[in-house]
Amino acid sequence: MAKAKQAATKSGSVVLGIDIGGTGIKGAPVDLGKGVLTAERHRIPTPQPATPKAVASTVAEIVKHFNWKGPVGCTFPAVVKDGVVHSAANVDKSWIGTNGRDLIEKATGCPTELVNDADAAGIAEVVFGAGKGVPGTVLLLTLGTGIGSALFLDGKLVPNTELGHVFFKGLDAEKYCAESIREGQELSWKKWGKRVDRYLRHIEFIIAPDMLIIGGGVSKKSDKYFRYFNTKCQVVPAKMLNEAGIIGGALVARKG
């Protein structure tokens, strides 16, 4: 991964951020200085099967929609090192070993960076959101289809942590308490909140964060389940909500 710009850049510098997810691929130009979208975001359903080729051409459609010619920062829900995808928990297995960055660069003609989705969301939170200016160890956990993690020490990212895959209660943790499990098993907020609490306390024991940020779509509903948390450290909802991926992706884009 190119060095993440973990400090706000001056306003006016605009980059296209694209968030590749299991159900939708969303993009928008981002003002890197303000951390805001400069145009309405464009969303296209993720092609099924979500093969590298199909996803790259959907990303190219988004680039075309904005008539974009500059740098592109893309998120991806897997371990990504130097553009290469190394895992595929919730995506098509054919991604493993693919240089997604080069593929997207070819499909779009734009200089591209590819970054893990939770890392991107974490960067957006640390630069503009709930983790802004927070010293020490900050951990963002995104609760969605899976569980993603982004670990920071004094604002600097430790890339590609996968704390959603620690083994917990005999399961891959994301199979125990991701948001998709709440929905799929129709768990009450209380039951699910208590599961998340057990997981958070386990993670707290391992990492000892100073602050935990909960991201993912369900972060907007924190009033329904944060009351079941008994961690020692402060737990806060993410502030950037649905736009964290797009903004964080844009923040790591290459200049070309």
Pick 14 or 141: Cβ nearer ligand BGC: 141
Q: Using the rule CB under 6 A, which residue among 117, 179, 197, 243 binds ligand BGC?
A: 117
Q: Exposed (0-12), middle (13-18) or buried (19+): which is 223, by Cβ within 10 Å?
A: exposed
Please choose, from the candidates 86, 67, 69, the residue with its C-alpha nearest in 3D space to the C-alpha of residue 77.
Answer: 86
79 versus 240: smaller Cβ distance to ligand BGC: 79
Cis preceding linkage at 45, omega within 30: no
- Closer residue to ligand BGC, CB minimum distance, 28 or 79: 79
Stretch that binds ligand BGC, among 7-15, 24-32, 71-79, 92-100 (CB under 6 A): 71-79
Residue 113 contacts ligand BGC per CB under 6 A: no
Record the tokens describing residue 114, joined without a space: 């590819």
246: which DSSP letter? H
**Closest distance between ligand BGC and the C-beta of residue 16, in Å?**
20
Task: Say whether residue 174 binds ligand BGC (CB under 6 A).
Answer: yes
Residue 214: what residue type? I
Tokens in use for 74? 């893309």
Which of 193/245 has CB closer to ligand BGC? 245
- The answer to whether the beta carbons of residues 122 and 148 sit under 8 Å apart is no
Binding ligand BGC (rule: CB under 6 A), the pick from 1, 28, 63, 90 is 90
3-state secondary structure 173-186: HHHHHCHHHHHHCC
Q: Which residue in 162, 179, 197, 243 binds ligand BGC (CB under 6 A)?
A: 162
Q: Beta partners for 80?
A: 85
Candidate residues 164, 215, 237, 245; the one interacting with ligand BGC per rule CB under 6 A: 164
Out of 142, 161, 180, 219, point to the residue binding ligand BGC (CB under 6 A): 142
Q: Which of 27, 35, 73, 77 lies at the binding interface for ligand BGC (CB under 6 A)? A: 77
Query: Which residue in this structure is represented by tokens 């907007």?
Result: 220
Distances (CA, A) of 134 to 70, 208, 252: 32, 15, 20
Whichever of 116 and 219 has its CB closer to ligand BGC, that residue is 116
Q: Which residues pair with 75 in a beta bridge?
A: 19, 115
240 close to 125: Cβ distance less than 8 angstroms: yes
For residue 46, state whether it binds ligand BGC (rule: CB under 6 A). Answer: no
Nearer to ligand BGC, 136 or 217 (CB): 217
For the bound state, the minimum distance from the C-beta of residue 74 to ligand BGC, rounded and expressed in Å, comes to 13
* Residues forming the site for ligand BGC (CB under 6 A): 77-79, 87, 89-90, 116-118, 142, 144, 146, 148, 162, 164, 174
